[in-house]
Amino acid sequence: MQQSEPNFLKNLHTELSDGKAWLGRGIVLAYAALAGLAVVIFTIMSETAFGWFQYIHPQPLGHPHLDASGHGWHCLAHPAICPRCGGLWHPPNHGDA
């Protein structure tokens, strides 16, 4: 039995003319576009909220991460370095072993 090479053009035509496959591809592309749009919208909302936060809590000159009370937004990002709650969290002690 002799094995022949696959017909490339016939397989390409079959692949491109399959309506169900194109419907599936369209659905996947639509969800991908929606996911990308959600990321863009979330980024814009985050930038706007951070701008409002900076407007409400202006930074004194020379202290890029501190507000007028001496405690800045970095306390929200990493509680371990916040002077107000520094005693609440300690790194794990692995001993001298």
- Pairwise pLDDT comparison (82 vs 6), residue with the higher score: 6
Whether residue 65 is predicted with pLDDT greater than 70 in this model: the reply is no
- Compute the average pLDDT of residues 21-39: 95
95: confidence class by pLDDT, cuts 50, 70, 90: low
- Mean pLDDT of the residues in the chain: 75
Inter-residue contact 79 to 89 (CB < 8 Å): yes
Domain range list for the chain: 1-56, 62-97
Percent of the chain past pLDDT 70, that is, above it, reads 58
Global pTM reads 0.50
